Amino acid sequence: MIVVFLGPPGSGKGTQAKLLSKQKHWPQLSTGDMLRASIEKKTRLGEEAQAFMDQGKLVPDSVVIRLIEERNKESDCRLGFILDGFPRNISQAQALDQMLSRQMRKVDWVIFFDILDVELVKRFSGRRTCVQCGSMFHLESVPSKLGNQCDQCGGVLSQRPDDQPEVVEKRLAIYHEQTEPLVGFYSQQNKLKNLDARLPALEVFNRLSDLLK
């Protein structure tokens, strides 16, 4: 089974992908991770991607699609995989469908992590990260017992620049413009399943598991 996770930044896609991967033994395919690994291994595609990055350009969709195509031929993808963070727009989704069709495969389900912008801004703005060990906390849902210090190592907790409300709002605006149209695209294919991403992570996962039974 091939599953695409779709939703705004901060909606919990990465967390749920890791949990589902562990449960189903489906690899979590992140294009960012695959690009980095390909570049580190100095593969042909990695070198091609690096050339674009060295020029300050985005890696073209054609390169990313070929990267996914090579990755899903590996044995651990035989029973299925989870695409986390890709596709990001309709042209990428169409290219993905064409590539999978060549392999006699298809996207089976698209899980839409449904959550309002106001909830996401609140979620991001309350996050605090330990500058020493990288542990994550939240002022409301996962507060540190030591106030502005890390429970794990005693390091100082700080707010990352990209968690500032104004930065989050810009990221959400890009999502609504470029990625949200995929909701309609996959809905027309009868592949979209809605998931309430406002809930606690464990409850979200239980509902996700039920959706994919």
Residues composing the chain:
213
The two three-digit tokens of residue 37, written as one number: 């690994």
Distance (Å) of CA 20 to CA 27, 60, 211: 9, 29, 12
Contact 191, 109 (CB under 8 A): yes
Return the closest-CA partner of residue 158 out of 124, 123, 125, 130: 130
Active centre residues (catalytic): 13, 88, 127, 160, 171
> In which region does residue 134 sit, left (phi positive, over 0), alpha (psi from -120 to 50) or beta (all else)?
left
